[in-house]
A and B are shown apart, each in its own frame.
Chain A
């Protein structure tokens, strides 16, 4: 029991510290997603703590992913005017980008001869982690690995967002937001809010819709195709 509380407490404390630091002085390497993960990894390896033991203690945090997905209802409802007005653009962008992402992931995984578990974990690489973990679980992948690939995509996408915007001369704020939300999820959305409220709002909306659409696609696929 004490051991479990220790890992739970350590994770929350590290996150709180890192979050406060990153909020005050944001640099790419002190992002909580990267730094907390790295520090914990060093602690686990140095202390010869297995993943199973760590997971036992931190299960309550993972449980909160469910309520967090439910909580997305509030921002979705808040953005109903934006969603209804631009539903065509959003639908096309989410569908095309999702298909392209899955094709690229599976195609490259095939060329590089990765295992079926890795392939299934790579499929939802381009959607926000809570949704990606649901998808990976349903496709026979490893939700934890999917979270890693998603997090990596988010960190990378948020960093290369500005250079990509310049390279392709993306002037539309809507397009800037959509690419950050689609490619870089939560991390990209936070960065997009730094560019402007419009970019941030579009990024958040695109991210959420992409997550929902991809989970629904898998549910429908499995119900009808098998």
Chain B
């Protein structure tokens, strides 16, 4: 078998492992009535396993990349809920659009300016790679 084929099979196995991890975390959360979302319990557990060197991140890299590369496929279906909201194709939609536009311009401007203001103070000395272009 070619190296690419093996890597692809490995990625699908890792994908299955990540699914199993989420399922386990979900069982724990349901069983113990924890307020933490199951996905976050899974994520934090995995981070802990990496930090304690019990598991190498390379072991799950392919599966993680596979899931994250196609992330938007997973939330296209819930976006179809707009099918049931005919009222949004009118004045209400314009209002919502306005909120999204103003909010996005505001958040991005604020973040850019704030970080640009803070960043030279954080890296006064070394690390010229991160200095302004």
User: Are A and B interaction partners?
Assistant: yes
Query: Which A residues fall within an 8 A CB radius of B?
Result: 11-12, 15, 32-33, 36-37, 40-41, 44-45, 50-51, 54-55, 58-59, 61-62, 64-78, 86, 88-89, 92-93, 96-97, 100-101, 104-105, 108-109, 112, 114, 118, 122, 125-126, 129-130, 133-134, 138, 142-145, 147-149, 151-153, 156-157, 160-161, 164-165, 168, 170-176, 178-180, 182-184, 186, 198, 206, 212, 215-216, 219, 222-223
Whether A149 and B83, one on each chain, are in contact in the complex, defined by CB atoms closer than 8 angstroms, is no
Whether B109 and A144, one on each chain, are in contact in the complex, defined by CB atoms closer than 8 angstroms, is no
Which residue in A130, A147, A183 is a CB contact (below 8 Å) of B79? A147
The distance from the CB of A22 to the nearest CB of chain B, in whole angstroms, is: 11
A76 partner residues in chain B, CB cutoff 8 A? 43, 47
Instruction: Please name the 7 residue pairs, one residue from A and one from B, whose CB atoms are nearest each other, closest first.
Output: A144-B81, A183-B108, A69-B39, A73-B46, A70-B42, A179-B112, A58-B77
Whether B75 and A160, one on each chain, are in contact in the complex, defined by CB atoms closer than 8 angstroms, is no
Which of B80, B112, B130: most chain A Cβ within 10 A?
B112
How many residue pairs link A and B with beta carbons under 8 A? The number is: 286
Which of A33, A67, A130, A215: most chain B Cβ within 10 A?
A67
Whether B64 and A130, one on each chain, are in contact in the complex, defined by CB atoms closer than 8 angstroms, is no
Whether B111 and A178, one on each chain, are in contact in the complex, defined by CB atoms closer than 8 angstroms, is yes
The distance from the CB of A17 to the nearest CB of chain B, in whole angstroms, is: 12
The distance from the CB of B88 to the nearest CB of chain A, in whole angstroms, is: 9
A92 partner residues in chain B, CB cutoff 8 A? 114, 118
Is B60 an interface position by the 8 A CB rule? yes
Whether A153 and B100, one on each chain, are in contact in the complex, defined by CB atoms closer than 8 angstroms, is yes
The distance from the CB of B7 to the nearest CB of chain A, in whole angstroms, is: 15
B84 partner residues in chain A, CB cutoff 8 A? 50-51
Q: Complex: how many Å from CA A22 to CA B73? A: 14
- Known contacts A108-B102, A153-B103, A219-B37; A61/B122 CB under 8 A: no
Whether B80 and A149, one on each chain, are in contact in the complex, defined by CB atoms closer than 8 angstroms, is no
Q: How many residues of B contact A (CB 8 A)?
A: 75
The distance from the CB of B39 to the nearest CB of chain A, in whole angstroms, is: 4
The distance from the CB of B70 to the nearest CB of chain A, in whole angstroms, is: 8
Is B35 an interface position by the 8 A CB rule? yes
Is B5 an interface position by the 8 A CB rule? no
Whether A72 and B130, one on each chain, are in contact in the complex, defined by CB atoms closer than 8 angstroms, is no
Whether B78 and A96, one on each chain, are in contact in the complex, defined by CB atoms closer than 8 angstroms, is no
Whether B132 and A171, one on each chain, are in contact in the complex, defined by CB atoms closer than 8 angstroms, is yes
Closest to A204 in B: B68
B81 partner residues in chain A, CB cutoff 8 A? 51, 142, 144-145, 148
- Known contacts A12-B73, A223-B35; A175/B112 CB under 8 A: yes
B100 partner residues in chain A, CB cutoff 8 A? 125, 149, 152-153, 156
